[in-house]
Amino acid sequence: MQISDVNQLFRENDLFSKLTLERLNDIAKFFTLIDFAPGQVVFYEGDSAQAMYIVVSGEVIISRKMGAGQRELKRMLPGDVFGEMALLSDSPRSASAFVKSKSRCLEINKENFFEILDGDRDFERHITQIIIKRIKDTDENANRYILKAYETLLFSLANLTELRDNETGAHLLRVRHYCRLLAEKLSCHPHFESAIDPLFIENIFIVSPMHDIGKVAIPDAVMLKSGKLSDEEVMLMHQHSSAGAGVMKKLMDEIPFPTFAMGYNITMYHHERYDGSGYPSGLKGEKIPLEARIMSLADVFDALLSARIYKPAFSFAKVVNILREERGKQFDPLITDVMLTSIEEFREIYLKYSNPDEIDEISR
């Protein structure tokens, strides 16, 4: 391999890209070319860090133990640097590196690496900044992964209610989009802007499909009854909010994320009415948590547009009239106003996430 090829690799890498050609030539002398066979291990998670590497050719997989197996974190391709984090932080390897296909890497050992850093304050500062950024990116990626995992898990859990209810998975998909859109719009409204930040918007998207999770606890005879429910059956049905909130409470106690606290409020209070005549607690006005007031509007809007065991689908115009009539009675008046101002956008969500049969119903 020519020195010019090595220099090219260095120049393309953000760790070394700011160095002069002369300095790069100087540094290149400290690196050694190593060939790895497919399947070979460059280092194991937990090893002490003795060197860092730049991939010249081939592919190296960085992976970490997760539960019983290994999870692939990253694929290192020509030009990529790996093994530098543990080397610089003088900590054990946080992941393993396996060679995927026949690979050639440039290796620099710890002593040599610190020697090239020694006395070069600018280079040292540059490397520190890059490492901090990488740690931050790794952290954000891990957080995103966890968030995606529990979002998917919660949505799958919410879909269980489909087995017990005539509501479809599409209803859950639509309500999460209505809730997010409504929360976004309210975040620009002077009355609500201080209560709604990006986390609120993200959380309501994640937990709104959980609103009826408690229906799994309601007997079939009540859940699937097509005729009018008796007073006793109505009372049983009403218990779905506290049953669902019980599930969220367990999650909340175990993992104190704001997501689950919002999930609790949504499951518990989504049938409260602004005028205080709802259930389970008869909360009135702004005593009803904001997320539950948003949820209630989104849920009822979708239920009115859809055919249910107990009712046909209503036309869009009729639904809009009902929302107007229920402004300040069932629904928070300001939230209703915001929704009505942009009602076409909510209708678009309905159309986008509905199957054609349902769409036929609302175009009447």
Which residue numbers are catalytic?
215
Length of the chain: 364
Say if residues 174 and 354 touch (Cβ distance below 8 Å): yes
Size of the site for Fe ion (CB under 5 A): 2
Minimum distance of Fe ion from residue 181's CB (angstroms): 16
Angle at 306 between CA 303 and CA 308, to 5 degrees: 80
∠ at Cα 344 (325, 173), nearest 5°?
95
Least distance (Å) between residue 322 CB and Fe ion: 16
Site string for Fe ion, 87-116 (x = CB under 5 A): ------------------------------
CB of 307 to Fe ion, least distance (A): 14
Radius of gyration of the chain, Cα coordinates, nearest whole angstrom: 29
Measured from the CB atom, the residue of 108 and 319 that comes closer to Fe ion is 319
Q: How far apart are CA 304 and CA 319, in angstroms?
A: 6
| Cβ density class 314-332: b for 16+ within 10 Å, e for less | bebeebbebbeebbeebbb
The mark string for 193-232 relative to Fe ion (x by CB under 5 A, - otherwise) is: -------------------x--------------------
**Nearest one of 211, 198, 200, 202 to 150, comparing CA atoms:** 202
Compute the distance between CA of residue 180 and CA of residue 345 in angstroms, rounded to an integer: 12
For the record, the structure tokens of 116 come out as 């090239």
Nearest distance, CB of residue 287 and Fe ion, angstroms: 19
Give the residue carrying structure tokens 């280079």. 123
- Looking at the Cβ atoms of 68 and 163, the one nearer to Fe ion is 163
Phi, psi of 118 (to 5 degrees): -60, 125
Please say whether the beta carbons of 71 and 124 come within 8 A.
Answer: no
- Contact between residue 94 and residue 49 where contact means Cβ atoms under 8 Å apart: no
Contacting Fe ion within 275-304 (CB under 5 A): 299
165 is an interface residue for Fe ion by CB under 5 A: no
Chain centroid offset of residue 38 CA? 35
Q: Where along the sequence are the contacts to Fe ion (CB under 5 A)?
A: 212, 299
